[in-house]
Structure 1
Amino acid sequence: MSAAAATDAAPAPKKGNKKLIIIIAAVLVLVLGGGGAAFFLLKKPHAEGEEGEEAAAPAPRAEKKVQHNLDPKHAPTFVPLDPFTVNLADRDAERYAQIGITLEVDDAKLQEALKAYMPAIRNNILMLLAQKTAAQLLDREGKEKLAEQIRREASRALGYEVEDDEDEDTPAAEDKPKKKKKKRAAQVLPISAVHFSNFIIQ
């Protein structure tokens, strides 16, 4: 009987080994599966962050492209003038204007010439402003016209020959035909534009 018991006990450890191997294999599958799932879940937000960074990357490229078009070698030079305060030509009331002006030039070397001729430039601009009335300067068209006249007067102060501008507000200009204005070609002047930084009329 003891021999029979011994033979019955011998196969039992083999069964137990199979169960142990199956349990270990199942645990390994679960660990590997869980680890793989964790890896993909943690990797996914990181990948989305990288995609978001890649998606955001073209925007700076577009900005660089815009900046590339603005070549610093050919950038205009801006020359701010001291503010002007002048009595206007209104007859019915005392009106005055406070105007901040900045001249734009294409050639940076011209900036030194502007400083050298500044007294003459300021004189010409003051004389021009003193002839204006508040009504002539209040609307946009009047300001644009003034900017062009300042451009011409400042260029004249630098010694450039500037054709006389027919002022439409004067009676003499109303008597003359307007054909002359169409025939006149735009003059090439050293000052390319005039900008207002301040414009107060009181």
Structure 2
Amino acid sequence: MNRGLLVALVSAVVVLAVGVAGLAVYVWRFPPGSIAVGGAAVALGQPAVEKAYYEMDKFVTNLADTDRLRYIQFSVALGLVSQNAKETAQEAEPQVRDVVLSHVRVLTSKDLNGAGGKERLAQAIKEGLDAILPGHVTRVYITDMVIQ
């Protein structure tokens, strides 16, 4: 056999073996159907397991009611994918508070009334936070809410 052909064949086998080993490590570290967030694999299409929580100070703001002036006082806790995500949320607290208040001020007391009011508020806040903390927030918890 030609020496050049033999060297090319051995080189191709080595490159292929390294590629297969790299793919195996990647699939083991990040299973199919997951994404990497903060150095950890998070499954897509499944509820993420919360590794950290960040309880924010109380919020007080006015609502968008036009018949009379109404206020809401509420507390928010963020369910986060990792301890690293908690640090990121703490560093971005002014932006987080702005997003939360922006989403609440456009709601009326009727929007927040009933069994689903709290859930609608939490979902609206989460959608807003996904823009500034993509992949970090798994759920928003409204831990306290009073409307006057």
What TM-score comes out, normalization by structure 1 length? Answer: 0.47
Native 8 Å contact 2:50 2:80 kept in 1: no
The question of 1:145 aligning with 2:120 is answered: yes
The question of 1:155 aligning with 2:130 is answered: yes
Aligned match of 1:192: 138
Unaligned runs of 5+ in 2: 1-48
Greater fraction of residues in strand? 2
Within 5 Å, give how 1:36-185 maps onto structure 2: 76-158=51-133, 160=134
Q: CA deviation at 1:75?
A: 5.5
| d(CA) in 1 for partners of 2:109, 2:70 | 7
Aligned length: 100
* Runs of 4+ more than 6 Å apart: none
Unaligned runs of 5+ in 1: 1-73, 161-188
Larger radius of gyration: 1
State the secondary structure of the residue aligned to 2:116: helix
Q: Deviations over 1:106-160 (max 9, x none)?
A: 21111110011110110011011100000110112121111111112122123x3
Q: Deviations over 1:35-94 (max 9, x none)?
A: xxxxxxxxxxxxxxxxxxxxxxxxxxxxxxxxxxxxxxx762110011110100000010
CA RMSD of aligned residues (A): 1.4
| d(CA) in 2 for partners of 1:195, 1:133 | 19
Aligned match of 1:201: 147
State the secondary structure of the residue aligned to 2:86: helix
Distance 1:92 1:125, change over 3 A: same
Percent identity (aligned): 27
